[in-house]
Structure 1
Amino acid sequence: MASRQGVGLFQVSGGPYDIGYRLGEIARPVFAEYMAQSRAWHAVRRWRGEPFVQTPRDAARSHYPALLAELDGMAAALGWPAEDVFLWNCRGELIHYAPDGCTTLAAVAGDQRFIAHNEDGAPFLRECCALVEVRPVGKPGLVSFCYPGSLPGHTFAASRAGIAQAINNLRIREPAAGVPRMILARVVRDAGSLDEALHLLRTVPAASGFHHTLGCAGDARLFSAEASARRCSVRSVSGLADHANHMIHPGCEAEAQIVTESSRNRQLRVDACCRRSSRQCNPLRCSTYCTIARHRACRSIATTRSIPTTKTRLPPRSSKSVTPVCR
């Protein structure tokens, strides 16, 4: 995993509330200032007390109460109301015009597989994010890029079960009663296999949607999954596949979405790069396309390159500290 600048790595463990509390402590030095200048938060907080907000909260409590407890712990450490922290982690269901963008590329060439992801965001975030190693009791655990005040798992991460996942925001116009997408993205990280991860995306009722690029150590397959409130489209990756921030799989036209100029242009740009390279695909060089196509209104927060092999998984947990490789 590589980023464009040094990013601190924090290890958190324990029960759900304890993990959330530690994540809140990590975010606390920057969170209040971040939220004060965030246009997204100014839009999201208007939903305080609205009946619709109770629907995803009830779905989260019904399906994944542990992650709701994690958010409650985070709120306690931040000194913020639990309702507000939950709202912030439902921002994808509540607002649809946030300018943030990201681009993902998946490549298969012979026995090599590759996932590259460029994470774009507000310039303020450039010094505020972290890598976190989450060690929940009874679950595989993961290493994830993490925004302050957000559940780890909705950007890019790798789990100790071997699952590698990169997420792309989708701007779904009509959210539904279901589990918030940031919680669902985190749940996928707890899967023990690709098949289990895809089963979750296909069966758990989602409130809105993400695009998931999925691979797993010990499994030769890569998948592109558009999982929204109305449908879950899964396509196997052969050669090169890319994705920005709108649905592109066949059948997506039946679901209302917002396609920003940035997302459309990035998709076209990476499509063109992939077509030129399709005959001589080298997965070890393809991450360049993600940075070329970054969101012009934002800055690259991090660029990751994940190479899930067909033979190995992440090493077992160690009590020793881990230093991330950052660029």
Structure 2
Amino acid sequence: MAYKYVRIAGNRRQVGLALGKLARPIMGTYLDQSGTWSALRPWRGHPFVDDLAQQAQAAMPQIWEELEGLAEGLRMPVSDVLLWHCRGDLLHSTTDGCTSVAMRAADGSRWIGHNEDGDPFLYGRCHLVDVALDDAPGYLSFYYPGSLPGHTFAANRAGLVQTINNLRTRQRHAGVPRMFLARAVLDCTTLDEAVTLLREQPHAGGFHHLLGAAGDARVLSAEVTPGSVSIQEVGRRYGHANHMVHAATSGQAQLVTDSSRARQNRIEGLVDGWLPESTHADMLAALLDTQGKLPILRTAKDDPDDENTLATAMFEITDEAVVLRVYDRKARADIALDVMSDPE
């Protein structure tokens, strides 16, 4: 399978340190080949980045401690690791794609599915990390080397599920970096707590958060951008790619790539065709769809956004449990995990 399952436990700094050590062998090569890193380097020492650091430290000291541990494990300066975490706040376009989809099944279960699209270099080089923290619920998350978990697909031991879609907003505001906010959601224990966090914190960049939780019938779509937060409850079916589509936010200045537009149109067409008796198999088929020149499942070497699908996740959410299944470009799951049960 195209990722490795790893368990990590400890306090904030210890977890960050372990994540850094996990990524250290490939981090230099990863950054050297990354056009995003090349575009970020001129921001070194910029006062705006210093402001983002201050906002992150003040609002989320525990997660800042994880970042410091991550930098130690990577053997990189904290300033460079912070800069890497601010890539979507500083640049209008980064190699973070993704498509998310949701369904309410006839039996009352909620399903959230997600294609994690990113730098093709990362295919086969990511991890599924199972993290136990001393002071928070702990979580399962797809882990990009050198990036705090939370900005991909994840669920925590409290039963909260989150998938993230990159939004290429053209705004740049002082605030908490978006990757810190996404990581902080994984410390929340309820949907309401996550919504409060997203509404109350100042945002430096833009993400779409698709949220669900065990024991809560709602599935929420949140488009979170500098100066704006739009949250909608999802109906029976839903799909979202990489640009703002909510009425409250879609008029904001943003970069909509041809791939994002094509995937949004295709996923909307697919979910609109679902019947009341449609199941999670239809969701998975949508995420593995290869129709068109710019398909939902992205494997092309010449992808115009320089992104490929790194993994596909399906979360089954019921009143008492969350089950995560992860797929590698095929309809058979590589792994299935009961998220709310402690690992043996």
Amino acid at match of 1:317: D
Contact 1:104/1:115, CA 8 A, preserved across alignment: yes
Contact 1:245/1:263, CA 8 A, preserved across alignment: yes
- Aligned match of 2:297: 294
- Aligned match of 1:59: 55
Amino acid at match of 1:19: V
Contact 1:41/1:88, CA 8 A, preserved across alignment: yes
Instruction: Supply the distance in 1 between the matched residues of 2:25 and 2:222 (Cα, whole angstroms).
Output: 35
Aligned residues: 315
Instruction: Supply the distance in 1 between the matched residues of 2:96 and 2:146 (Cα, whole angstroms).
Output: 17
**TM superposition score normalised by structure 1:** 0.92
Contact 1:107/1:283, CA 8 A, preserved across alignment: yes
Worse-superposed segment, 81-90 or 292-301: 292-301
Tell me which protein shows more helix as a share of its residues: 1
- Aligned match of 1:75: 71
Instruction: Supply the distance in 1 between the matched residues of 2:269 and 2:25 (Cα, whole angstroms).
Output: 42
Backbone CA RMSD of aligned residues: 1.4
The structural deviation recorded for 1:255 is 1.9
Amino acid at match of 2:316: I
- C-alpha distance 160-255 of structure 1, shift in aligned 2 (>3 A): same
- Aligned match of 2:318: 309
SS at match of 1:175: coil
2:268 aligned with 1:265, yes or no?
Answer: no
Superposition pairs of residues 53-202 of structure 1, within 5 angstroms = 53-110=49-106, 111-202=108-199
Q: Which has the higher contact order (CA 8 A, sep 6+)?
A: 1
The structural deviation recorded for 1:232 is 1.1
Amino acid at match of 1:204: Q
- C-alpha distance 14-311 of structure 1, shift in aligned 2 (>3 A): closer
Worse-superposed segment, 291-300 or 130-139: 291-300
Instruction: Supply the distance in 1 between the matched residues of 2:184 and 2:41 (Cα, whole angstroms).
Output: 25
The structural deviation recorded for 1:317 is 2.4
- C-alpha distance 100-291 of structure 1, shift in aligned 2 (>3 A): farther
Instruction: Supply the distance in 2 between the matched residues of 1:253 and 1:165 (Cα, whole angstroms).
Output: 21
- Aligned match of 1:323: none
SS at match of 2:317: coil
2:27 aligned with 1:31, yes or no?
Answer: yes
Instruction: Supply the distance in 1 between the matched residues of 2:227 and 2:280 (Cα, whole angstroms).
Output: 33
Structure 1 stretches of 4+ moved >4 Å = none
- Aligned match of 1:221: 218
The structural deviation recorded for 1:32 is 0.8
What are the Cα deviations for residues 159-209 of structure 1, in whole angstroms up to 9, with x where unaligned? 000001110000111121111110100111111111111111111111111
Instruction: Supply the distance in 2 between the matched residues of 1:13 and 1:181 (Cα, whole angstroms).
Output: 24
Contact 1:101/1:294, CA 8 A, preserved across alignment: no
- Aligned match of 2:326: none
The sequence identity of aligned pairs, in percent, is 43
Instruction: Supply the distance in 1 between the matched residues of 2:145 and 2:68 (Cα, whole angstroms).
Output: 15
Decide which of 15, 18, 22 is 2:18's aligned counterpart.
Answer: 22
Contact 2:2/2:124, CA 8 A, preserved across alignment: no
- Aligned match of 1:325: none
- C-alpha distance 83-158 of structure 1, shift in aligned 2 (>3 A): same
Contact 1:126/1:301, CA 8 A, preserved across alignment: yes
SS at match of 1:215: strand
The structural deviation recorded for 1:280 is 4.5
